[in-house]
Amino acid sequence: MSKNDNDIDTEFCHIPMGDGTYRDSDQKDKITRMIILGPGCAVSSKELLNFLHLLELPINIRLTCYGANLNGYPDDVMTAVEKARQLDPTHIFIKFRGFPPGDPRRCRAKRGGAREGFHQIEAEYKLLSEVSYALEHPKHVDLNPAKKISVDEFSNIVDEIGLKKEKD
Amino acid sequence: MKVAIFPPNSMILADMIVRSGHEPLVVQNQMKQKVTTPDIDAPPFNMTEEDPINGLKYAAIEVPSGVRGRMSLFGPIIEEAEAAIIMNEAPYGFGCVGCARSSELTVFSLRHRDIPVLELDYPTSRDDTIEMVYKINTFLDNLDKDGEEEDDD
């Protein structure tokens, strides 16, 4: 969408994103993923950023305190995400994101205060060290909880134990 | 297989589903449709009058329009779900709580679909968290096996 478009429908969306583009003018087919580095991750967010830049993919990369935000066409973003995950598979987590990075409706640079989704990341970050441990030591468990026994069965067991004690 | 999660924006649940090769149904994907479509891109009016009408499928007309509006976001997740992972007893603020009634209605609708559902409690200790991850992985691996058996039939 160019700046000189005089179409009334497109003019409605002319809110600058700060990077030369206008809000959502080119976002319809793009996706956003957040790469979140868990506690004890082998790479820092700066190293991750360098790695992503060296992939030379046509994506928008935004460095953040918890990792990076990637925005671009689905194939490119998913390639970058998969390669980034291979850096440390059990400590790098991926989150979906609806709003593009720097969107004035969500970006804290425009609004002030933490972005709403940041509190969710903060809450989940506390669990990530245990999640990483579990991913490093995979195990299968029984999903069916232990069933309660009937009263008759229980009374039979009590009687049996009582009889055994009497014999002793 | 498409797996619905609750809270519908949980990073841990969505990430574990992606790791096991399934597709998570997250609310961010629904939000993306809302915020990147130019015709409804007019904050704070991202909800259009159509949304509460779509929500009528899940909640009656006397239910507040906020619940129906939210159900129009959660609705496609419920419809598409082939399996679900629900985390109960999550502390306030974990996930996109917003409206407790919408959350209850979403969980209710997921439970009443004829799909495999894994219900977990929010972990409060290290052992519980590790157990939770094991349970999710086992559930997702079982989905693979069930899917293969259906294909064989």
Determine which helix (DSSP H) or strand (DSSP E) holds B15, and give its type and residue range: helix B11-19
Q: Is the pLDDT of residue A3 over 60?
A: no
Which residues of A fall within a CB distance of 8 Å from B14? 94-96
Q: What is the mean pLDDT of each run of 10 residues along chain B (153 residues)?
A: 90 93 91 73 64 85 85 90 90 67 89 92 91 94 79 62
| The pLDDT of residue A37 | 95
Task: Compute the nearest-CA separation of A95 from chain B (Å).
Answer: 5
Per domain, the residue ranges of chain A are: 8-136
Q: Could you tell me the CATH number of the domain that includes residue B141?
A: 3.40.50
Task: Compute the nearest-CA separation of B78 from chain A (Å).
Answer: 18
Longest dimension (CA), chain B: 51
Task: Compute the nearest-CA separation of A156 from chain B (Å).
Answer: 33
B58 three-state secondary structure: coil
User: Domain residues for B140?
Assistant: 2-152
User: Using one digit for the tens of pLDDT, what is the confidence trace for A30-55?
Assistant: 899 999 999 999 999 999 999 999 99
Name the residue in chain B with its Cα closest to that of A34.
B11
The architecture (CATH level 2) of A8-136 comes to: 2-Layer Sandwich (3.30)
CA dihedral A135, A91, A95, B14 (to 10 degrees): 0
B122 three-state secondary structure: coil
Number of domains comprising chain B: 1
**Across the A/B interface, how many CB contacts are shorter than 8 Å?**
108
Interchain contact, A131 vs B129, CB within 8 Å: yes
The encoded tokens of residue A82 equal 């998969």
Nearest-angstrom CA–CA distance, B25 and B82: 10
Determine which helix (DSSP H) or strand (DSSP E) holds B117, and give its type and residue range: strand B117-121
Which residues of B fall within a CB distance of 8 Å from A24? 35-38, 41
B139 three-state secondary structure: helix
Question: CA torsion sign, B11 to A121 to B30 to A99?
Answer: negative
Give the C-alpha distances (Å, rounded to integers) separating B11 from A117, A121, A127, A159, B128. Answer: 10, 8, 11, 51, 18
Beta carbons within 10 angstroms of residue B76's beta carbon: 15
**What's the ipTM?**
0.86
Determine which helix (DSSP H) or strand (DSSP E) holds B118, and give its type and residue range: strand B117-121
The encoded tokens of residue B105 equal 């209605």
CA atoms within 13 A on the CB side of A24: 23
User: Using one digit for the tens of pLDDT, what is the confidence trace for A95-153?
Assistant: 999 888 877 777 777 777 888 788 888 888 999 999 999 999 998 888 887 788 999 99
Interchain contact, B142 vs A24, CB within 8 Å: no
Note whether B95 and B18 are within 8 A (CB).
Answer: no
B59 three-state secondary structure: coil
Determine which helix (DSSP H) or strand (DSSP E) holds A32, and give its type and residue range: strand A31-37
User: Using one digit for the tens of pLDDT, what is the confidence trace for B37-58?
Assistant: 765 555 555 677 778 888 888 8
Closest Cα partner for A127 from A9, A29, A38, A15?
A38
User: Using one digit for the tens of pLDDT, what is the confidence trace for A56-83?
Assistant: 999 999 998 899 999 999 999 999 999 9
Note whether B23 and B101 are within 8 A (CB).
Answer: no
Note whether A157 and A165 are within 8 A (CB).
Answer: no
